[in-house]
Amino acid sequence: MSVDFVKVAEIKDIQPSNMLAVDLEGERVCIANVEGNYYAIGNICTHLGGPLNEGTLEGFDVECPWHGSKFDVRTGEPTRPPARQAVPAYEVKVEGNNILIRKHQ
Ligand code: FES
């Protein structure tokens, strides 16, 4: 696992209140834009693997499109069942027009 930040998207790719799924070294990651701030968590729901980027973003919570679990995009922690395990959380850095992420150490 690299410790360096990796560019995964550009600012124009993710409008406010939207999400985008990207790959980081083989892991699917969901980038969320909450009022101009970017957050990144694992894209695969820990319940049965639903794609979080296809769900809905409300405040800091993303709702899985399959059975309604919610995760906090700031921490990856579940905020509503049926999911009980957190998804990974990533650090996000914006440099110019670029969005870079790395996994929390
Ligand atoms: S797969 Fe996400 S809530 Fe079931």
Indicate the DSSP class of residue 12.
G
Q: Is 43 near ligand 1, meaning CB less than 6 Å away?
A: no
DSSP secondary structure, 13-72, as one string: GS-TT-EEEEEETTEEEEEEEETTEEEEEESB-TTT--BGGGSEEETTEEE-TTT--EEE
- pTM, 2 dp: 0.94
- What are the structural domains, with CATH classification, of the chain? 6-103 (2.102.10.10)
Pocket test for ligand 1, best of 41, 43, 48, 85 (most atoms within 8 A of CB): 48
pLDDT at 86: 98
Tens digit of each residue's pLDDT (9 = 90 or more) over 66-86: 999 999 999 999 999 999 999
Nearest protein Cα to ligand 1, atom 3: 67
